[in-house]
A and B are shown apart, each in its own frame.
Chain A
Amino acid sequence: MSKEMSKDMCGCPGAAMQDFRGEQETKEETGKRQSQLRQWPLQLHLISPLAPYYQKADVLLSADCVAFTVGDFHKDFLKGKSLAIACPKLDEGQDIYVEKIKSLIDDAKINTLTVMIMQVPCCGGLVALAKEALKAAKRKIPVKAIVVSLQGDVLSEEWVGD
């Protein structure tokens, strides 16, 4: 393994330096892959739950880093879903996030919410925000949490809400 972890960082696993160079396959890929994104904007502060693409949709709430780690993010996770992205560690105004997610559940009447996060502990905050919104919402919907590793593998996938 060529993985190297810096020992002189602050100790936060979310910020610990890791080097994956040399671990990727060098196989050349040909052709272009179609984007599965069907909306703009994406950032949770910028989106409006009233936008038509959220109405009764299956929504993916993804931590910012996820799309960069999962090679087939568009094909395997974004396809057929409306999107919102956020960072539970660095973003401010997270009480507004809870209100936005609650509005997606109650006003946009979304069908399901899939929360996709990184394995680093701070990312769990996004699932906590979704649970808080679900608890506060009048409607109840199925909520799924997907945790991915730093190299894009799915570590767990489970339903968290009822």
Chain B
Amino acid sequence: MKKYLNTPIKEIITNFPQVGNILEAYNIGCVPCTLGSCLLKDIVSIHNLPKDQESELMYRIEKVLYPDRDVKKPIIGNLLQKEAPRELKYSPPIKRLVDEHVLIKQLLTLMPKVIANIDMESDFDRQIILDSLDFIRFYADKFHHAKEEDILFEYTDKNLDIIKTMLADHETARAHVRAVFAALKTQDKKSIIENLNAYCALLAEHIKKEDEILYPWIDRGLTTKQVGELFARFNEAEEKMNMEVIEKCKRFIAELAQKVTKLKGRE
């Protein structure tokens, strides 16, 4: 089992697809992960399952990996009695990042409606795309992702696969934004739609991973002193930013729902 505990999860799922199903049953979403380079042992520890559930998960995985082995079934409490979902409680600096996700998620919710009704000949429509890209660049990237990359991730080991996966997601997202800018110049509607859709799918999954797995895991490892430092460093970083631009981004999201209605009303 030690061999598999130190094996990247993608490799395990490729060779034993059933393991992916088992992980999904415990809300561990490794199957759609873009990289899948996290080691099985790290995945188990990062998700911080209740002890009973972790024992059961490992038992089921080991049975798949070693079907001929006499794996001892763990003595588990009343598994039929489902635990109530645990409420995630974040420290104040981490909570700030989660709150920033809320605004980004609003864009992700509205974007499919924008895409479905986009008219490349219309200045109004093109402006919505440009404003959305500004929101992504200034709010989602410079305001939010920069806090993670320049500050938060310093409190972790940047060589960990889960951090590498998050950084790779940021880079992929930036590539999609660059592609939309390029496509706008050439009026390539197909490329605009493809890249915006890909951006939204990537970010939705990325945010879910951060809110539910990465942030709680980082939070658990922070000392009180580090929480205070992190909070102060986020404040300093924000003081250096042009908050007028950030306020404009917030206004844009507040107005976007209204603008989407206008796009639809044209049909």
Contact = CB atoms under 8 A, between A and B. Distances in A.
Interface in B220-256: 224-225, 227-229, 231-232, 235
A144 B93 CA distance: 13
A111 B95 contact: no
Interface in A77-129: 80, 110-112, 114
A64 interface: no
Shortest 10 CB-CB contacts between residues of A and residues of B: A111-B228, A112-B228, A142-B92, A162-B92, A142-B227, A142-B231, A58-B225, A159-B91, A112-B224, A159-B92
Interface of B: 89-93, 95-96, 224-225, 227-229, 231-232, 235
A161 interface: yes
A75 to B, nearest CB: 15
Contacts of A161: 92
A111 B229 contact: yes
Contacts of B95: 159, 162
Nearest to A81: B224
A162 B96 CA distance: 9
Contacts of A162: 92, 95-96
A112 B232 CA distance: 10
B228 A159 contact: no
Contacts, number: 39
Interface residues on A, range: 10 to 19
Interface string A25-45: 000000000000000000000
Nearest to A144: B224
A141 B230 CA distance: 10
A112 B223 CA distance: 11
Nearest to A77: B224
Contacts of B92: 142, 159, 161-162
Contacts of A140: 231, 235
A58 B228 contact: yes
Contact of A114 (B224, B232, B235): B224
A158 interface: yes
B267 to A, nearest CB: 43
Contacts of A112: 224-225, 227-228, 231
A142 B92 CA distance: 6
A65 to B, nearest CB: 22
A78 to B, nearest CB: 12
Contacts of B90: 159
B89 A159 contact: yes
Contacts of B229: 111
Given A112-B224, A141-B228, A142-B92, 5 more contacts: A111-B225, A111-B228, A111-B229, A159-B89, A161-B92
